[in-house]
């Protein structure tokens, strides 16, 4: 038996006590909150440290990459100098300006060695040989001189320098006049290695910016082991002058670097990007470092700091996001616990309200049940009626007290009989369980029995209900007697409509056939009259006879079109298929067009297999219509198509006179032509037939056209005729 209201009230009160105990925050709630906060702070610290480490690594990589680029470029320049030394070693006579220019040109300095001002030769001349040196040099260049004067007991004049036009100011310069130039030159001579000078200003540099010279020594003999041997066999230096700013521009991509740098040598700035930025216009750099690098005998100090581009590229909000996300989760956990506590308190109040409102809700449910339109019968597992609503009282004529406690057979006396009829069970006697399973969970039609003994047609749906271990069945019954009567009438009306459509089609065929007979007689008679008339006789009467024959032909075409229109409602057999390209070529072959007129069929149509009918008739009508109404003998008609999962789509386009948009809705009506029939012969039924056939098959047609711009008919034909369109047709062809 179902639980009593008293038992339900006790159940609600016990639930209320448990909810009150669960409505407070316990110690383990606080453990969860503190643990979550600790995990958040740990994750934030790890993310921040990882981010700082990545920034440090990237800055170090950028800094060392710049230094390596400069070192690699200096190595290339050194190779060029040693190449010059090799060129001097191969000369078996006095070096000439032409020979040195040829070597310089072969290096392609401007292309391969950006940043180099030139490449030249510095000769070593002892005081006793200076006179012979000047005479020899002035034989080649009369204006050659050695400058400036100095108090050294040796001369190191620049004898050759290319390109000469840019370095003319350096030609003849004696590098012995200045300490940095001379010191590096002697070091290169004594060590046999390439050396660079300390910071100098090139005489050919009009801007007087920092620069340096790069030396490579040339000896008369190779493989010299000692300093003494090298000094005794020393001949001259191959050198390259550098303006440091040009060197850096040629070496580094200035606009893509993420760092600024300053390069200094013994406190003298060779290149300075750091100092060129106003102190007030920039914040403290994110990273900076100082690296000392030995470069060909000199110690270059690189002061490197990050620029704005570096800071933008390394900006990472991940640690902040981790922190905010963790705090957000923490807030959500706290909010969840608070909401759960509040929800529990509300549940406690709700439990009390439920206990108070239980009786009221029971009454409300009873009222809903008793005022339902459908009948509701509640029965137990043995089939005994437990409840019976007002709709059932009106449906069966029993008061509830008359049937409660009785078996369902008093209401549904033919359940077994209906089961046998619906399941075609004759040899087997169905058990009560079989009958129960058949009706449970399904909408079934059964015969009911009223109190007065009359039968009613019912639809019943039975649902199994388990209430605290007790199985019960809820049966909803609906009187469908009126609906069944209406369905029978509708079926009779549909059958009458089918017969009517068949009679109309037969009438159209007979009427067309009977009207054609007198038309043929008129046509034959007019033909005889035309044959009997003198060709040179009454031309006016002959013209009238020909007009009569044209009207007879038009009438016959109209009758044929009417007959076709009456048959256009059929659904054609979709299994008879044909290649779309082949079908269109057959249609093209029967068109009466001049050689200049083109009917173009897209190649992709050869890959489409389509139903022959009604598409053959549709294509024929559309192509014939485009040809017939074209205003030029050299026009064209094109047909394209495609296939989707649901339908075929085709476009028939022409370059004819077009159709004014105001006539677009009329062209698909019967007997509509845009030009007089005396100009273009036709019944005005072609497009109407096309639209009707497409409508009957669930397809569609659209027109795109304007005056003077041709016309395009787009048709859609479904691969399968929808069932609702099948219901509108009376036959399948």
Does 443 fall in a domain?
A: yes
Same-domain pairing of 508 and 416 = no
By CB atoms closer than 10 A (0-12, 13-18, 19+), residue 323 is middle
Does 344 fall in a domain?
A: no
Does 53 fall in a domain?
A: no
- pLDDT higher at 347 or 619: 619
Same-domain pairing of 197 and 234 = yes
- For residue 569, the model assigns a pLDDT of 53
Residue 100 contacts residue 118 (beta carbons within 8 Å): no
222: left (phi over 0), alpha (psi -120 to 50) or beta: beta
- Express each pLDDT in 54-92 by its tens digit: 889 999 999 999 999 999 999 999 999 999 999 998 876
Same-domain pairing of 512 and 448 = no
Same-domain pairing of 669 and 525 = no
- Express each pLDDT in 253-265 by its tens digit: 655 678 889 999 9
Point out the domain boundary residue: 424, 457, 479. Answer: 479
Same-domain pairing of 643 and 709 = yes
- For residue 653, the model assigns a pLDDT of 92
- For residue 191, the model assigns a pLDDT of 95
Same-domain pairing of 511 and 378 = no
Does 465 fall in a domain?
A: yes
Find the helix or strand (DSSP H, E) in which 329 lies. helix 318-370
Same-domain pairing of 579 and 669 = yes
For residue 253, how many C-alpha atoms fall within 13 Å in the half-sphere facing its CB?
A: 6
Domain that holds residue 397: 372-479
Residue 572 has pLDDT above 80, yes or no: no
- For residue 401, the model assigns a pLDDT of 87
Domain count, the chain: 4
Does 145 fall in a domain?
A: yes
Point out the domain boundary residue: 196, 224, 252. Answer: 252
Does 337 fall in a domain?
A: no
Residue ranges in 200-280 assigned as alpha helix (H): 227-233, 244-251
Please tell me whether residue 431 adopts helix, strand or coil conformation: coil
Rounded CA separation 392/395 (Å)? 5
Does 640 fall in a domain?
A: yes
- For residue 596, the model assigns a pLDDT of 84
Same-domain pairing of 385 and 465 = yes
CATH number at residue 558: 1.10.287
Give helix 580-589 / helix 615-628 axis angle, nearest 10°.
40
Mean pLDDT computed over 150-164? 93
Report the percent of the chain where pLDDT is more than 90: 26
Same-domain pairing of 593 and 716 = yes
Point out the domain boundary residue: 518, 535, 566. Answer: 566
- For residue 20, the model assigns a pLDDT of 62
CATH number at residue 414: 3.30.450.20
For residue 728, how many C-alpha atoms fall within 13 Å in the half-sphere facing its CB?
A: 14
- For residue 127, the model assigns a pLDDT of 93
Rounded CA separation 118/103 (Å)? 12
- Express each pLDDT in 367-419 by its tens digit: 777 777 778 888 887 778 888 888 888 888 888 888 888 887 788 766 656 65
Same-domain pairing of 240 and 108 = yes
Residue 693 has pLDDT above 90, yes or no: no
- For residue 21, the model assigns a pLDDT of 61
Residue 122 forms beta bridges with which residues? 158, 237
The vertex-254 CA angle with 250 and 255, nearest 5°, equals 140
CATH number at residue 577: 3.30.565.10
- Express each pLDDT in 479-499 by its tens digit: 777 887 887 788 877 777 766
Does 165 fall in a domain?
A: yes
| Exposed e or buried b per residue across 155-188, where buried means at least 16 C-beta atoms within 10 angstroms of its C-beta | bbbbbbbbebeebeebbbbbbbbbebbbebbbbb
Mean pLDDT computed over 316-329? 84
Determine if the peptide bond prior to 614 is cis (ω within 30°). Answer: yes
């Amino acid at each position: 038996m179902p639980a009593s209201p008293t038992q339900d009230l006790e159940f609600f009160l016990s639930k209320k006590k448990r909810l009150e105990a669960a409505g407070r925050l316990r110690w383990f709630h606080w453990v969860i909150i503190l643990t979550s906060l600790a995990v958040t702070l740990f994750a934030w610290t790890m993310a921040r440290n990882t981010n700082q480490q990545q920034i440090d690594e990237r800055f170090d990589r950028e800094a060392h990459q710049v230094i390596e680029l400069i070192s690699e470029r200096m190595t290339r320049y050194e190779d060029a100098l040693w190449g010059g030394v090799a060129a001097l070693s191969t000369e078996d006579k006095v070096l000439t300006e032409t020979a040195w220019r040829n070597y310089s040109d072969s290096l392609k300095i401007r292309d391969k060695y950006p940043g180099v001002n030139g490449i030249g030769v510095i000769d070593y001349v002892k005081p006793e040989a200076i006179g012979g040196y000047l005479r020899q040099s002035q034989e080649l260049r009369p204006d050659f001189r050695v400058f400036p004067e100095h108090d050294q007991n040796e001369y190191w004049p620049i004898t050759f320098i290319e390109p000469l036009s840019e370095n003319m100011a350096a030609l003849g310069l004696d590098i012995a006049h200045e300490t940095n130039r001379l010191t590096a030159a002697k070091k290169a001579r004594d060590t046999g290695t390439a050396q660079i000078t300390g910071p100098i200003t090139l005489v050919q540099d009009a801007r007087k910016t920092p620069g340096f010279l790069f030396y490579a020594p040339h000896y008369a003999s190779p493989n010299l082991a000692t300093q003494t041997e090298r000094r005794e066999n020393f001949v001259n230096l191959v050198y390259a002058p550098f303006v440091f700013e040009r060197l850096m521009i040629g070496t580094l991509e200035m606009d893509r670097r993420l760092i600024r740098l300053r390069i200094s040598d013994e406190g003298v700035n060779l290149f300075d990007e750091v100092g060129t930025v106003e102190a007030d216009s920039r914040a403290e750099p994110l990273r900076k470092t100082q690296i000392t690098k030995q470069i060909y005998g000199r110690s270059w100090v690189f002061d490197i700091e990050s620029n704005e581009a570096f800071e933008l590229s390394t900006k990472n909000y991940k640690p902040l996001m981790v922190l905010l996300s963790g705090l957000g989760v923490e807030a959500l956990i706290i909010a969840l616990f608070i909401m759960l506590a509040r929800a529990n308190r509300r549940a406690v109040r709700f439990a009390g309200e439920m206990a108070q409102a239980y009786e009221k809700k029971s009454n409300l449910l009873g009222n809903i049940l008793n005022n339902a339109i459908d009948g509701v019968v509640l029965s137990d597992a043995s089939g005994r009626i437990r409840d019976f609503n007002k709709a059932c009282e009106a449906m069966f004529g029993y008061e509830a007290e008359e049937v409660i406690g009785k078996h369902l057979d008093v209401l549904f006396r033919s359940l077994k009989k209906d089961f046998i009829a619906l399941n075609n069970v004759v040899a087997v006697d169905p058990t009560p369980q079989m009958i129960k399973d058949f009706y449970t969970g399904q909408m079934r039609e059964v015969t009911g029995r009223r109190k007065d003994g009359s039968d009613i047609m019912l639809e019943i749906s039975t649902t199994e209900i388990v209430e605290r271990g007790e199985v019960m069945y809820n049966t909803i019954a609906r009187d469908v007697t009126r609906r069944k009567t209406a369905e029978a009438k509708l079926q009779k009306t549909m059958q009458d409509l089918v017969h009517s459509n068949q009679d109309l089609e037969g009438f159209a065929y007979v009427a067309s056939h009977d009207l054609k007979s007198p038309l043929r007689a008129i046509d034959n008679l007019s033909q005889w009259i035309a044959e009997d008339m003198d060709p040179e006789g009454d031309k006016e009467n002959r013209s009238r006879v020909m007009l009569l024959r044209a009207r007879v032909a038009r009438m016959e075409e109209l009758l044929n079109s009417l007959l076709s229109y009456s048959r256009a409602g059929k659904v054609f057999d979709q299994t008879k298929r044909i290649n779309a390209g082949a079908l269109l070529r057959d249609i093209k072959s029967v068109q009466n067009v001049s050689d200049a007129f083109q009917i173009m069929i897209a190649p992709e149509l050869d890959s489409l297999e389509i139903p022959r009918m009604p598409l053959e008739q549709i294509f024929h009508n559309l192509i014939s219509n485009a040809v017939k109404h074209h205003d030029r003998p050299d026009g064209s008609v094109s047909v394209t198509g495609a296939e989707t999962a649901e339908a075929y789509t085709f476009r028939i386009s022409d370059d004819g006179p077009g159709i004014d948009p105001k006539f677009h809705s009329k062209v698909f009506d019967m007997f509509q032509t845009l030009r007089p029939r005396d100009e273009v012969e036709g019944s005005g039924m072609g497009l109407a037939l096309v639209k009707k056939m497409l409508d009957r098959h669930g397809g569609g047609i659209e027109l795109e056209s304007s005056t003077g711009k041709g016309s395009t008919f787009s048709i859609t034909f479904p691969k399968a005729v929808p069932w609702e369109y099948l219901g509108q047709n009376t036959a399948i062809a």
